[in-house]
Structures are given as structure tokens and as C-alpha cells.
A and B are shown apart, each in its own frame.
Chain A
Amino acid sequence: MFGNLDLATLQKLWWLLASVVGSLFLFLNFVQGGQTLIWQLGKSEREKSLIINSIGRKWELTFTTLVLFGGALFAAFPKFYATSFGGAYWVWIAILFTFIVQAVSFEYRKKPDNLFGPTVYEAFLFINGTVGILLIGTAVGTFFTGSNFVLNEYNLVKWTNPLRGLEAAQNIFNVSLGLFLVFNARVLGALYLLNNIDFTGMDEFKKRTRNAVFSNFIAALPFLLIVLIGLLTMDGFGVDPATGTVSMVSFKYLKNLIEMPIVLLILLAGLGLVIFSVYSARFQNKDNGIWFAGLGTVLVGLAVFSTAGYNNTPFYPSKVDLQSSLTIFNASSSHYTLTAMTYVALIIPVVLAYIAYVWKQMDSQKLKAEELEGPEAGENY
């Protein structure tokens, strides 16, 4: 069935699949956003506990999605995996560290004899939600602004900047994308809490959460503007489809959006959904904004990844040696591997279906404070 698809189609399909996983990760970053709101919104131990237990029941999904994003890129675009992880070494190591400390923090924070005390584990969660997401955004920014590497004739990577990837944080576009993601995650986090927690008898807490949706959206706006203006005006990297030669093209990403109107539409719809959900949460007292903002974030993610990888655009360009830039065509796995992986990907709808089913089962009743303080309290985070 899939064996008949030509290589280019499979490469495009796998870029789409990787983009979907990456975009779902950005939505699931409501966990990371929530982590950064623990201290700000949780004024009492009870409130803190509600926040942590609410997002804590989803942290592994986010974590697993990140791992799958890495795995899918490895399987489908191994040259990217090798070039970026081996090259931009310190950015990835720093990101990974924030995820190592996250993984234990929910479980260990409240357990007696946990060596550091709860505040340190809360700080770990904060770091993961701020530094971790900021650096991920910065790394994604290099899809547009380029990196410092050269590939030799054996396709082996040489990184030309001693900062090994951290230099990406010197670029205002990259950092703005990172900061936008941090604040967007906080918007998502607050929206998730609004929908997931039973605030009966805790009006102040609810009001604080609702305000956080709005204030973090306002904080995200300037960074969003910098990213959008940057994207629409910057010179981008383009590939000549006939020769494979990479060159700088003025207004490349603006051209991509015009030449792929569907992507432009997705981007606008995504941004619209996020704005709508913030509006409805703040001014219409709606609690279910997470679904609109979540879908919106996924759409924005898809538009960003599509702009980076489709329409003769190298998704991982090299600033120092344009011809070393990675495209979805020169960085991919073989036809055979992509075909095999496409068969495996048929299981994805099943996975999504059981995740949705379990999510519904678990979240049909909102999280009550009593649940965390009753006789079963020992089971909770």
C-alpha cells in the first residue's frame, strides 16, 4: 500500500507526522505552564496541592510526546537528529536536564524523607516550565534563523561555534519565540486548571486563575509580534528544486505563507482560537477555553513547522555553509524505512483514541480539594 508512494511523498508525510507530534507537545505544555503557576496562583497548601495534582495527572503524556517527537525525528530524519543533537550539544543537554528533574518532582515533592524538601522540587518544576520551554522555543527558532554547522562529504557534522547551540539565544527572534511559548504555556496551564479543578468555595483562587489567563496572554503578545513581524520580513533560506542549491531568499517565509494559503489559514485560525479562548475565559467567565486554545496552539505549531519545512525550504538551515542545510529531502531515512514506519503509524489513531477515552474517564468529575485531603490522600502528589 505505502510501498507505492514515492520517496518525496513519504518525506512530506513524515514531516507532517513529526509536526503533528511536535504541535501536540506544544499543546500539552499546559503542564509546564501550570508548573510555573504553582507559586503564583497557589496561595495556600491546599491550592498548591490542587494545581500540582491537576496537571500532575498529565505530565507523563507531555513527557512521552516529547520523547516520541525525538524518536520520530530520529527514525524519519536521522541526519537532523545527528546534526542538531550532536552539534547544538549544550542547548539539548540543558533542555534534557530540565526534563530529568521534572520527571521525579511530582512523585517526590510531598513524600517524606525526600532529601531536598518540597520547595526544591517545586523549583525543579518551575525551571522545567520556564528554562526548558524557552530553550525549546529558541531551538525551533533556528529552523528559520539558521545554525552554525558544516557537513562533510560523509554527512558528518562539524559545529563552528564553540557555544554549541547556546549561541542561538543571542538572536532576538529565537528568544522571542521561546518566550512566547513560555507565556503561551502559562495561558494554557491556567486554562487547563480552570477547566479541571472544582473551585467550589474557592472563588478567590478561581479569580486569580482566570486573571492569569489574561495577564499571561498580554505578556505573550509582544513576543508574538516580534516573531510574526520577524517571520514575515526576514530573509529566509530557500532551495532550488532543480539543483538542490540553497540560497538566501528575501521574504522567503512570507512567500511560503502566500504560496501555501492553507498554511496561512491554519496559522490565522490557530491564533484566532487562542485569542477567542482567552477572551471567553476573561470576559465571558467560560471555563472550557483550554480546548480552543489547545487546538489553536496545535494549529499554530503546524503552521510554523510547515513554513519551516515545505515549499522548497530547508528546515534546518546552516548559516555558515548554506549547502550543508538540511531539507526534508536530504535529511530523511530511506524509502524502505519511511514505508515501514508509515505502516507502524497506522496505529496512531488507536493510540489517540485510548488516550482520549482514558482522559474522559479520568476527568469527567472535576478535581476536588476533598479528594486530596480525604482518607485516600496518600495516593496523591
Chain B
Amino acid sequence: MLEQIDLSTVNWARAQFALTAMYHWIFVPLTLGLTFLCAFFETIYVKTGKEEWKELTKFWMKLFGINFAIGVATGIILEFEFGTNWANYSWMVGDIFGAPLAIEGIVAFFLEATFFAVMFFGWNRVSKKFHLFSTWMVAIGSNLSALWILVANGWMQFPTGMAFNPDTARFEMKNFFEVVFSPYAISKFTHATTSGFVLSSLFVIAIASYYLAKRRHMLMAKRSIIVASVFGLIASLMLAFTGDEAAFIDAKHQPMKLAAMEGLWDGTTDAPIVAFGIVNGMKEPGDFQDPFVVEFKIPGLLSLLANREPGSFVPGINDLVFGNKEQGITGVEEMVKKGKLAVKYLDEYKKAKKKGDLSAASSVLSEFNKYKDFLGYGHLRSSKEAVPPVSITFYSFHIMAAVGTGIILIFFLFLFYSVRGNIETATWLYPIGIIFFILAFVAGEAGWVVAEVGRQPWAIQGLLPVSVARTDIAPVNVKLTFFMFLATFTLLLIAEIRIMLKQIQIGPKEVN
């Protein structure tokens, strides 16, 4: 199974997945939230019957449409990339992973695709109420699609509801509901969608702030800000709550990721949170270098957040690599040894079966079963390979958390001044709104970096490393497609931004 691995194919495939996922995530959060905002705006229009609200809805819908198209373009690649770049993955876990992708198509994409046409071209073709219904269906459809793809992603983080079948050499689903309702699926869905709501609310606030600063479309801008800041404030509080939940389950199921997020090398009770720090990028497992060049710590907070128990023990990277008997932690070193046995017995089982020696096959199989839980570790070349890139994970996590906290205050301020009725004079707030919109983009991407880089080298946590999951293909192919995607997506992004800016400059139609 582990023939000569050409690591550069793996790394180009990883880079390509990161590229497409990060491009996709530029557009998706706006889709997730803007649909709901459009649905809110249109609901107010239908309730009040006022034309201004209709024009306001149409304006935001237009921006939504521009963004939606490129979201679709980047999305199709992600689905098929599992096949093209991760063929072994597709076979080995397709029995579980394929289902949510198909369900996403059946229950979500068709809702979006069908009602999208009504939303944009149905104003004079269907009744007012049916149009409103369609807008809500697009909102629900896009968020349902997020649900299913995040169920799939949650399963990659925390594989559950399945078992390894040595005859087919793949993992097979045993419990659909365990997959769908796994704590990771729920956590990923709530955290990612609320982050989309937050970003979209900031998008509306940023553009409305621009109009206020330019003294254009004042009424429309103020109305947009009120709706967006209420939605944004609620969403940002939920975002913080779901973020805390995400860290809590990471502590349980992905302790290595949590340790990397906080740059914690040696586990400790009363573990601190690093409020700010510069990571020593040279540090390796088992050495005696300082983990940080500079650090400001808040004592005890990590123990509280990770285990919800003050003073509790939080394992560090070294504990997880080398084991910690005192705390009952089996190290990666130990697991790699057991994993190598699993790989060896699986191979012998295959050979015995091929020869038709059933009794040998059955005795080897029982040996394999003793070690099968460590099969994934058997593919690692060393225990150090199980450590994700600490610096990237640490910085991404801290940027995300800092921006996320600040955003709550921004929504509060916009709402406060809107309710007091003097948002028009709070000109100092406008640039802050625009800056935080950009920061929120960075934070959203950083969040995905934490989630995905923080669990390297695993394609499926603990079961399947990326080096095995890849397609058997020469690196030049993947390298070439990487640059093709990079060029295409970049050009399309530039086109999208230019079109968007032009539409913002044109602005909504004023109703007399």
C-alpha cells in the first residue's frame, strides 16, 4: 500500500485544495448571509408595501447575484477535486463521504438553482408572496448546502459511524445518524454559517457606511445598517459561543490541533492562553528550545476553555507525540508501532486470501483486528509527522479570535448609533466598519486554516493521512492544474470585484 510516495504530488494536491477552498470561501460566506438579509429586506417590503424597500432589496440582490455566480464556479471544483486529486481517498471513504455530497445536491442545490431564477427574473412573473417565498427558499437552500458539506467536513475531523472492511480495504458506513449528528458536524455547521452571517452583515454595513460618508442614498443606507447590525450582533454572539464549543470538542477529539492553536508543547495543569505571542518556528518535538520568542499569557484560561474545568490538565504536543503515562495518554510513537503491525497484517491477509489459504487468512485477520484502530498511524513515517505546522495554526487561530471579538463591539456601536438616530453624525465609525469587513474576510479564511492545517497530516483524522489519500499521478499534472486554477480564479475574482465596485458606485434606484 505504501509504495514509493512522491511527496510533491501530495503537497501540490494540498496546495490546490487549499487554493480552491480559500477562493471558494471568499464568496460562500456572503452567499450564506446575504440571502437571509435579502429575505429580511423583502419581508419588510411585502409587509409594508413600500417601494423603497423593494429597491433596497433589489440592490442587495444584485450584489448577491454577482457574488453567487463565482461561488458556484469555485464550488464545482471542490466536489470533483476529491476525485481528481484524492482518488484513493474517494475510494477508501467514499462509502461514507459520498452520501452527504449527493444529499447536498438533492436537497439543497436544486432549491437554490430553481428559486434563484424566480428571485431575479420573477418580479413581474409571479405573485409578490411567491417571490418572497422564493427568496426565502434560496436562503434556506444555500444554508442547507452548507449543512451537508459541513457534515462531510465534520466527519473528516471526527470519523464516526463507520468501520474498516479489510476485504474491500475501505471504510464503510454503519450508522448514518452518527455521521449526521456528530458533535463536529453540528459545530462546523453552526460556526461556519454564523461566520457567514457576520461577514455578510459587515458587507452591508461597509457599503452603507460608504454611502453615508458620501452623503448618498442616506435613507437606504440607514435602513440597511439597522437590519444588518441587528442580524450581525446576534450572529456574532452566536459565533463566539459556537467558537468556544468548537475549541471544547477539539480538546476532546483533536488535542493535537488544540495544542498547536495555543503553541502548547508541554502539557500542564492550569494551562494558560497566550493572548499574544511570537512563535519559535524552529522548535521540534522533544527538543529543549523555548516555544515562544515573546509571549503574554493569561494563566489557567486554556484549562477552563478546553475542559470547562479550572486547573485541569491540557496535553501539549510533546505529550501527544511521546505519550504521558501519568495522564493516561498514548503517544503517537506507540500508535505508529501498532499501526505498522496493522499495515503488515492487512498485507498478509490480502496475500493469504489471494492464495486461497483461508485458515491463514482468518488467523492473520484476528491479529489485524487487534491493531486495526491504528491503521492510519501505520502510514506515518515518523511520529513527528503527526505534528501540524504550529506557527500557521497558532497565528491563524489568534487572528481569528481577536477579530471575532472586536466584531461584536462594531455591531453594537452601529446598532447603538442607529437606534439613537445619530448614525449620520458618527462619521468616525464608517471607516471602522469598512476595515472590519476586510478583517472579517481574513478571520474567516484564518478559521479554515486552523481547522484544516491544524489537523495535518490527516485527510481523515487518525485514519487516513494525506500521503495515502492522494491520486497516483505525476506531480507535474497537479502543479499545472494548480496554476491553471490560480490564474482563472484570480482573473475571475478581479472581474467580480470590479463589477461589484461599479454596481456599488451606481447604487440603488432612488424612489421618489
Task: Please list the residues of chain A having a beta carbon within 8 angstroms of any beta carbon in chain B.
Answer: 53, 57-58, 60-61, 63-64, 66-68, 70-72, 74-76, 78-79, 81-87, 89-90, 92-93, 96-97, 99-101, 103-104, 106-108, 111-116, 153-159, 164, 333-334, 336-337, 340-341, 344-345, 347-348, 351, 354-355, 358, 361-362, 364-365, 371, 376, 378-380
Q: Per-position contact with A for B451-487: 1 when CB-CB < 8 Å, else 0?
A: 0000000000000000000011100010001001000
- A362 in complex: contacting residue of B73, B91, B126, B354, CB < 8 Å: B126
> How far, in angstroms, from A354 to B114 measured CA to CA in the complex?
8
User: A112 CA to B501 CA in the complex, in Å?
Assistant: 10
Cβ contact within 8 Å between B125 and A361: yes
Flag if A362 contacts B125 (CB, 8 Å).
yes
With A58-B117, A157-B472, A337-B96 as known contacts, state yes or no: A100 contacts B87, CB within 8 Å: no
A103 and B68 CA atoms in complex are apart in Å by 9
Partner of B90, one of A53, A72, A85, A153: A85
What are 28 pairs between A and B in contact, CB < 8 Å?
Answer: A68-B110, A71-B105, A74-B82, A74-B101, A76-B98, A81-B94, A82-B83, A82-B90, A82-B91, A86-B86, A86-B87, A86-B90, A92-B83, A93-B481, A103-B72, A108-B495, A115-B499, A153-B169, A155-B170, A159-B472, A333-B98, A337-B96, A337-B98, A337-B172, A344-B103, A358-B117, A362-B125, A379-B120
Q: Are B99 and A340 in contact (CB under 8 A)?
A: yes
Q: Which of B62, B76, B112 contacts A100 (CB 8 A)?
A: B76
Determine if B31 is an interface residue (Cβ-Cβ < 8 Å): no
Residues in chain A near residue B73, CB distance under 8 A: 99-101, 103-104
Q: Beta-carbon contacts of B111-127 to A below 8 Å, as 1s and 0s?
A: 01111111011111110
Could you tell me if A333 and B94 are in contact, using CB atoms closer than 8 angstroms? yes
Contact flag A340-B173 (CB < 8 Å), given A81-B83, A112-B502, A115-B491 = yes
The prevalent SS among residues of B at the interface is helix
When the two chains form their complex, are residues B98 and A156 in contact, meaning their CB atoms are under 8 A apart? no
Contact in complex: B104, A115 (CB < 8 Å):
no
B107 and A362 within 8 A (CB): no
B115 and A358 within 8 A (CB):
yes
Q: Are A164 and B473 in touch, CB under 8 angstroms?
A: yes
A344 to B101, CA, bound (A): 12
Return chain B residues, CB-CB under 8 Å to A92.
80, 83-84
- Report the minimal beta-carbon distance from A203 to chain B, rounded to whole angstroms: 25
- Cβ contact within 8 Å between A101 and B488: yes
CB-CB under 8 A from A79, the residues of chain B are 91, 94
Q: Do B472 and A107 have beta carbons less than 8 Å apart?
A: no
Chain B residues near A57: list those with CB within 8 A.
117, 121
Given A83-B87, A344-B106, check contact A365 B125 (CB 8 Å). Answer: yes
Cβ of A340 and Cβ of B130 under 8 Å apart?
no
Chain B: minimal CB distance from A316 (Å): 13
Contact of A379 (CB < 8 Å), options: B82, B88, B121, B473: B121
Q: Are A74 and B94 in contact (CB under 8 A)?
A: yes
Q: Which residue of A lies closest to B100 (CB)?
A: A75
